[in-house]
Structure 1
Amino acid sequence: MKDLLKDFLETSRDRIKTPITGSFALAFLLWNWRPILVLLLSDSSIENKIKHIDKNYCGYWALLAPLLIAIFYTLLVPYLTMIIERMTLGAIKGQRYNKKVLDKLEEEQNRISQEYELMKASREFEIEQIKSGQRSINELSERIASLEAKLQASKN
């Protein structure tokens, strides 16, 4: 008996997991929400509830409409999703391309910024050398060295 109940529950669970069953159950609840609320929330006796639901809400559309909605959802929605994905594919590729371009621009901007900082530091170093007189001494030493080389060349 326990095995029979276990098999029944597993089979029921597998059936509920199928797309058409789940879609039908949801569509049925959404389509027939009024009679469900009447059944659950009305203060009338159960006989009166059933008579009211049978008189006002029972018909072919109570089952046919949810079935059509479930079939539409199960069969056509995957194709609609595929069409929408194809339509948005261009936008997704464009976004990826824009990100690559922005990343390259950011790298270039960082490189230029680093070069600017190096040039700025070099200028500040030269200004400090000029202020301290170190540059003029270096220039004079270089000039003396070049003049000595010329003198040596003219002697030979």
Structure 2
Amino acid sequence: MKSFSNSLTSKAAKVALIGATVAAGLVAVQTPAQASHKCAHGADEEICFFRLKSYGGGSRAFYNIDATYKNDYWDGTSATNSLDNSITSYVNYDNYWYFKECRYVNHDSCIVVVPPNTYDTNLAGSTWGDGGSLDNSFSSHYKYDLV
């Protein structure tokens, strides 16, 4: 004969096991927020970065936030050539979202606002607040709206 406490412990263990199994399944299918891909001209809801001015060289596109560009690589190049501090032009194809570019990883020193449907063909002509060039100086970004 099962006592109430044994029955309760057994049920709690089953619930915990089911919960852990479901959580593990969710983690397994979840894609990373920083996942990037090659830019597709005119793609909605993404920002595209380019290695060279006037949208030249390699490209990477993002739909979401990215805390570090050190693990994102230009298409067609080796895994040793990351986006970190190597972006020269961009296009924000999103019609709604703003992106904020950060000078350092983990969203540190994010002061460059990229409004929807905007672009810069050569970041060498733009500067951070301290006068440093924006060219080859982005390390992370996040996405937000004004509402």
So what's the TM-score if we normalise by structure 2? 0.24
More strand by share: 2
* Rg larger for: 1
- What TM-score do you get using the length of structure 1 for normalisation? 0.23
